[in-house]
Amino acid sequence: MKQRRPLRKHCCESCSRNFYSRSSLSRFCSVQCQVKTWRANNKFTREQLEQQFIVQELETTSQPIQEAV
């Protein structure tokens, strides 16, 4: 019979609650904490998004369209 891994005590990186997991790689106590941290780390301002969109538009319009012969 396969043995189960022992439970390990971890501290959530988002809310600092203690939780138990069988994985040594667990960082968050729940999906909500994981999403909250991801959104905080990947937040873009409206100006950054608009600038990124403008750059993408310029890249696509500056390339000549090659017609199939």
Burial of 26 (0-12, 13-18, 19+ CB in 10 A): middle
pTM: 0.60
pLDDT of residue 69: 54
Q: What is the pLDDT of residue 8?
A: 96
Does residue 24 sit in helix, strand or coil? coil
| Model confidence pLDDT, tens digit, residues 3-57 | 899 999 999 999 999 999 999 999 999 999 999 999 998 888 888 888 988 998 8
Cβ proximity of 11 and 17 under 8 Å = yes
- Residue 60's CB is within 10 A of a number of other CB atoms, namely 9
